[in-house]
Amino acid sequence: MTDTNVFQLSQPGTFSDPLTEVLRNGARALLTQAVEAEVSSLLSCHADKLTDDGRRRLVRHGHLPEREIMTGIGPVAVRCPRVRDRGGEGCDRIRFSSAILPPYARRSKSLEVLIPILYLKCISTGDVEDALVALLGRDVGGLSASTIGRLKEAWCEEHARWSKRDLSAKRYIYFWVDGIHVQARLEDGAQCLLIIIGATPEGRKELVGLTDGVRESAQSWRELLLDLKRRGLSIGPELAVADGALGFWQALEEVWPHTRGQRCWVHKTANVLNKLPKRQQPKAKRALQEIWMAETKKDALAAFDAFVETWGVKYDKAVECLIKDRDALLAFYDFPAEHWKHLRTACDAARPGSAAPPACACVRSPRQASRSAAGTPPHADWRACRHRSCPS
């Protein structure tokens, strides 16, 4: 028991945490060991190289001055070893450059990710340093308001280069499209981020388009698609997956009219269930799953008709919401079965890091396939492909 109920509050960055100190010391020891192992590996690779007088050509040569790397657990002091090449000159000189501890590195990659997140969360440039002090301790340095300003300029320049990159050599089989509303700094009047994720014929997902827009208007989507086309993406994807936002579909019809559309089943399921009583929603959800989880398109059509017949009598609005997009909801069945799990939903637009399967020649249009003699051949992984036009 204490005689007072008044407690001293620690100011940001002034507290002492023994656990954090242990972690920092451990991180310093492990980092030192890893860099020393890099040097040892380099020396062993060149151990057979000798000078004219028979001495080893490559030897250790002390350490560089100690510097601090700002990490997610605060500053970690390190000293990078040096090597000396006693025989080489100019371009022939062997130099040591650590892959773990790059020259002039002052902060870890995780911290470089944290800084823009703080900025996007509307923490002012002047307050970022205070926020990092509270997170990392009072020893945080090199992250003043002017430093954050320079980082912001670098981010803007990097985004500008990315937004103007040439797309003439690119080809995308599928697009996943979504408008994401975030609590971040956007341009005046912008209300969401418009995102397009594309899948290449090799099965690699890439961020294709990213811009801010006024809600999800047709004009905003049109500007984004036309910009991609102007930069060389002359051939549209075979299939675009998105929710029911009319703005995108209107813009797609104008820019790439031959691209087919697939409605997102996650969004459609939510829309249908919202028109049903809560007590009926679990049963209806299972019935909807039987449609998009069917083994074949024929089975899906049968499950679709069964849902309409079962629920149409009492809940006509829910059924109407479903049947108005009948063809667009089942478009994915016309593509290889191995792709179906990726094509049912547009939620992949929020997961650009997830992998897509490689696309075989059957996904491309005949004209594109005839021109791709130097492109990607059909993959052996598609022996089990059930797409009716697949050559296998």
What tens digit of pLDDT does each residue of 88-132 get?
Answer: 777 778 888 777 677 766 666 656 555 666 666 666 666 666 655
The pLDDT assigned to 317 comes to: 94
Q: How far apart are CA 387 and CA 366, in angstroms?
A: 14
Q: Which residue has the tokens 């905003």?
A: 220
Structure tokens at 40: 């040892």
pLDDT of residue 302: 96
Cβ proximity of 148 and 115 under 8 Å: yes
Closest Cα to residue 358, out of 374, 376, 331, 384? 376
Torsion of CA 306, 309, 310, 313, to 10 degrees: 170
Least confident of 17-21, 50-54, 166-170, 190-194: 17-21
pLDDT of 187 higher than 60: no
Report pLDDT for 390: 37
Are β-strands 67-71 and 74-78 bridged in parallel, bridged antiparallel, or unpaired? antiparallel
Q: Give, as one character, the DSSP assignment of residue 245.
A: -
The answer to whether residue 359 scores a pLDDT higher than 70 is no
Q: Is the pLDDT of residue 352 over 50?
A: no
Q: What is the CA radius of gyration of the chain?
A: 29
pLDDT recorded at residue 106: 66
The backbone region for 54, taken as left when phi is positive above 0, alpha when psi lies in -120 to 50, beta otherwise, is left
Which has the minimum average pLDDT: 150-164, 230-244, 334-348? 150-164
* Predicted pLDDT of residue 378: 33
Residue 353 has pLDDT above 60, yes or no: no
Pairwise pLDDT comparison (159 vs 22), residue with the higher score? 159
Ranking 215-229, 266-280, 345-359 by mean pLDDT, the lowest is 345-359
> Could you report the per-residue pLDDT of 50-70, keeping only the tens digit for each?
888 888 888 888 888 887 777
Of the pLDDT bands very low, low, confident and very high (cuts 50, 70, 90), residue 224 is very high
Across 283-301, average pLDDT: 95
- pLDDT for 137 equals 52
Give the span between the Cα atoms of 153 and 194, in whole angstroms.
22
* Percent of the residues in the chain that have a pLDDT greater than 70, as a whole number: 66
Percent of the chain with pLDDT over 90: 38
What is the distance between the alpha carbons of residues 269 and 243, in angstroms, rounded to a whole number? Answer: 11
C-alpha 295/C-alpha 292 separation (Å) is: 9
Tell me which amino acid residue 343 is. L
Cα(294)–Cα(333) distance, rounded to whole angstroms? 10
41: nearest Cα among 3, 97, 79, 92: 97
Task: pLDDT band for 15, please (50, 70, 90 cuts).
Answer: very low
| Cα 186 to the center of its chain, rounded Å | 19
What is the reported pLDDT for 193? Answer: 85
> Within 10 Å of residue 133's Cβ, how many Cβ atoms?
18
For CA atoms 305, 339, 177, 369, the dihedral sign is negative
Give the pLDDT band (50/70/90) at residue 387: very low
User: Mean pLDDT of all residues in the chain?
Assistant: 77
Question: Is pLDDT at 284 greater than 90 in this prediction?
Answer: yes
Residue 348 has a pLDDT of: 60
Strand partners, 179: 194
For residue range 303-333, list pLDDT tens digits in order. 999 999 999 999 999 999 999 999 999 999 9
Backbone CA torsion sign across 28, 119, 208, 166:
negative
pLDDT of 349 reads: 56
107: DSSP letter: B
Q: Average pLDDT of 152-171? A: 88
Identify which of 194, 186, 199 has the alpha carbon closest to the alpha carbon of residue 248.
194
Which of the two residues, 130 and 191, has the higher pLDDT score? 191
Q: What is the pLDDT of residue 379?
A: 35
Amino acid at 3: D
Q: How far apart are CA 364 and CA 258, in angstroms?
A: 12
Q: What is the mean pLDDT of residues 355-377?
A: 39
At residue 377, the pLDDT reads 34
Helices (H), the chain: 18-45, 109-120, 125-136, 145-163, 218-230, 246-255, 265-273, 281-292, 297-311, 316-323, 326-329, 340-343, 366-370
